[in-house]
């Protein structure tokens, strides 16, 4: 059963065209203030709270898409993004535990995204009754209007390898 779940997870990650930015860490392009980090963490927590409620109503989805970053809206039509969102959370299940892990960035460029001002916020999460721990990474783009608002542009989740031999 674990092999099937891992295979399904790998297919999901590949289908979404995602990569683990923390795994390929690059040097941040500028310094970041404690206030910006706190703001980005709060924005990531709001994004995950919305994703935890999936499936979203039409109104919730429209609001989520409208308030996403420019990079996401350039990459996905509302319909394509809706299909993507519908495929992500059901594959993982219901969140049972989530802990803030850290952040990376800010970066002016990231793979598959237009130039911008990005930060990646990471959490360690468990889904359902599974003992498997996942890393969830929310990529956020700083509002181009200079208001310091962090907007959602990408989501990545993958199981964390353990040395304890998860059953």
Domain count, the chain: 1
CA distances from 131 to 11, 127, 152, 160 (A): 21, 8, 28, 11
Would residue 21 count as lying in a domain?
no
Share of the chain above pLDDT 70, in %: 75
Question: 94, 127 in Cβ contact below 8 A?
Answer: yes
Q: Could you give the CA distance from residue 154 to residue 150 in angstroms, rounded to a whole number? A: 12
Question: 103 CB contacts (<8 Å, ≥6 apart)?
Answer: 32, 37, 40, 41, 119, 120, 121, 122
Residue 45, preceding bond cis, omega within 30 degrees? no
Structure tokens at 126: 């468990």
Q: Which residue has the higher pLDDT, 110 or 13?
A: 110
Task: Give the predicted TM-score (pTM) of the model.
Answer: 0.77
Place 7 in a pLDDT band, splitting at 50, 70 and 90: very low
Would residue 2 count as lying in a domain?
no
Would residue 1 count as lying in a domain?
no
Q: Could you give the CA distance from residue 158 to residue 154 in angstroms, rounded to a whole number? A: 14
Q: Give the relative orientation of helices 34-52 and 78-92 as an angle to the nearest 10 degrees.
A: 80
10 pLDDT higher than 70: no
At 121-149, the pLDDT tens digits run 999 999 988 889 999 999 999 986 556 78
Would residue 50 count as lying in a domain?
yes
The widest CA-to-CA distance across the chain, in whole angstroms, is 48
Q: What is the residue range of 77's domain?
A: 35-159
Would residue 14 count as lying in a domain?
no
CATH number of the structural domain spanning residue 48 = 3.10.450
- The closest alpha carbon to 5, from 136, 105, 130, 141, belongs to 130
Place 41 in a pLDDT band, splitting at 50, 70 and 90: very high
Question: 153, 141 in Cβ contact below 8 A?
Answer: yes
Residues in the chain: 167
Would residue 4 count as lying in a domain?
no
- Would you give the distance in Å from CA 157 to the centre of its chain? 7
Q: What pLDDT, on a 0 to 100 scale, did the predictor assign at position 89?
A: 67
At 81-132, the pLDDT tens digits run 888 777 776 678 889 999 999 999 899 988 888 888 999 999 999 998 888 9
Top mean-pLDDT range of 21-30, 39-48, 59-68, 84-93: 39-48
DSSP class of residue 146 equals: S
């Amino acid at each position: 059963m674990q092999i099937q779940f891992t295979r399904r997870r790998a297919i999901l990650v590949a289908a979404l065209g995602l990569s683990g930015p923390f795994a390929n860490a690059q040097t941040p392009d500028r310094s970041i203030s404690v206030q910006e980090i706190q703001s980005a963490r709060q924005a990531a927590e709001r994004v995950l709270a919305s994703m935890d409620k999936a499936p979203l109503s039409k109104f919730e989805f429209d609001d989520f898409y409208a308030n996403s970053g420019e990079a996401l809206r350039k990459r996905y039509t509302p319909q394509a993004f809706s299909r993507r969102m519908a495929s992500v959370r059901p594959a993982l299940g219901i969140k049972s535990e989530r802990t803030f892990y850290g952040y990376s960035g800010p970066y002016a460029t990231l793979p598959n995204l237009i130039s911008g001002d990005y930060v990646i916020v990471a959490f360690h999460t468990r889904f359902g009754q599974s003992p498997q721990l996942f890393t969830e990474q929310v990529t956020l783009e700083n509002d181009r209007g200079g208001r310091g608002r962090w907007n959602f542009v990408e989501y990545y989740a993958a199981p964390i390898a353990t040395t304890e031999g998860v059953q």
